[in-house]
Amino acid sequence: MSHFDFDVIQRSWLYLFTTGMKFTLTLTFFAMLGGIVFGTLLAMMRLSHSKPISLVATSYVNLIRSIPLVLVIFWFYFLVPFIGAWLIGASEPIRVGAFQSAMITFILFEAAYYCEIMRSGIQSIPRGQISAGYALGMNYWQMMGNIVLPQAFRNMIPILLTQTIVLFQDVSLVYVLGSVPDFVSVASKIAQRDGRLVEMYSFVAVVYFVMSFGLSYLVKQLQRRVAIIR
């Protein structure tokens, strides 16, 4: 540790958090919201009595869960602009910003995982409550919105937050694009500029560990508070 340069961390930590971590947390937040909304719709489609709708949702979930996330990031960022231009007959690729590309990629990818969480939550609701909703004259959407989903969300809050912690860690994969200022990318540029790779990557590892461990502890405390005693 005698050659470990703490000064490079002291000089750059503020920039790392105000630029890199801000981008990482922003992308995590929007990907979480979009993933939960889209994942809930996919879960309802998977549980639909219509076989074509259920098949489409199941095929999408199985496909996404079978592909490495880094490949999805590459495919969307590099191929979608050309595919979009081909579909609309444009002569040049559609311009998609790095942040927008990363956000859509994570929403589409994480929705498959949030879908399975929500599907489990929906299936955990006793069938008697669903039958009671129909007996009161509710249609499918009223029954889901007023009876099933509120309870499912409460049951699944700890697991949804745990998946969000995984999402927070996965956001570091946008580093491969090289044009987004996430926490790892910013730290990497500082490390290469100052020739201090060990110091910067060690600092990144410590920050991710502290934040992920702290969030996991909070999730455990929340799980005890929201648990429904049956």
- Taking only the tens place, the pLDDT of each residue in 191-223 is 888 888 888 889 999 999 999 999 999 988 887
Cβ-in-10-Å burial (0-12, 13-18, 19+) of 84 comes to: middle
158-162 LR contacts (CB < 8 Å, sep 24+): 158/219, 158/220, 158/222, 158/223, 158/226, 159/117, 159/120, 159/121, 160/36, 160/114, 160/117, 161/215, 161/219, 161/222, 162/216, 162/219
- Please indicate, yes or no, if residue 50 is contained in any of the structural domains: yes
In the chain, the number of structural domains is 1
Alpha-carbon gap, residue 215 to 221, rounded angstroms: 10
**pTM of the complete model:** 0.85
What CATH number corresponds to the domain at position 122?
A: 1.10.3720.10
Confidence of residue 129 (pLDDT cuts 50, 70, 90): confident
Domain range for 24 is 6-226
1 found inside a domain: no
